[in-house]
Amino acid sequence: NAGVTQTPKFRVLKTGQSMTLLCAQDMNHEYMYWYRQDPGMGLRLIHYSVGEGTTAKGEVPDGYNVSRLKKQNFLLGLESAAPSQTSVYFCASSYDSSSGNTIYFGEGSWLTVV
């Protein structure tokens, strides 16, 4: 059971560098999300997608871009990394249902920007 898979798991970047985090889900979910987790702040939504080819801004979208070219993949890009983007990033997915969405999370990607 792969579920939600994130790559890479760990990365150190220099300020100004760019990188892409890849998220893949094998549950045929329509909805995918990128969250960041910072100490004492819980998880905050960066961007989300309600289907292939669609993306939308979440709570903290600045400095990030996303793409959903294939239903199973959701990419998070940092064009010019800043130390404030040091965080743990979680991808998640869900299948909308009338009983309320259960969101499934990946295991996280630890990003350090120096």
Enumerate binding residues for another protein (CB under 8 A).
Answer: 4, 31, 33, 35, 40-45, 48, 50, 58, 90, 92, 94, 96, 99-108
Q: How far is the CB of 109 from another protein (least distance, A)?
A: 10
87 vs 94 by CB, closer to another protein: 94
44 vs 67 by CB, closer to another protein: 44
62 vs 100 by CB, closer to another protein: 100
Q: How far is the CB of 65 from another protein (least distance, A)?
A: 19
The SS3 assignment for 85 reads helix
State both tokens at 73: 């993949």
Q: How far is the CB of 30 from another protein (least distance, A)?
A: 9
AA letter at 94:
S
Q: How far is the CB of 42 from another protein (least distance, A)?
A: 4
Q: How many CA atoms lie within 13 A of 51 on its CB side?
A: 1
CA angle in degrees (0–180, nearest 5) for 98-44-53: 60
79 vs 107 by CB, closer to another protein: 107
For residue 75, give every residue at least 6 positions away whose Cβ sits within 8 Å of its Cβ, in sequence order, or none. 20, 21, 22, 23, 66, 67, 68, 69
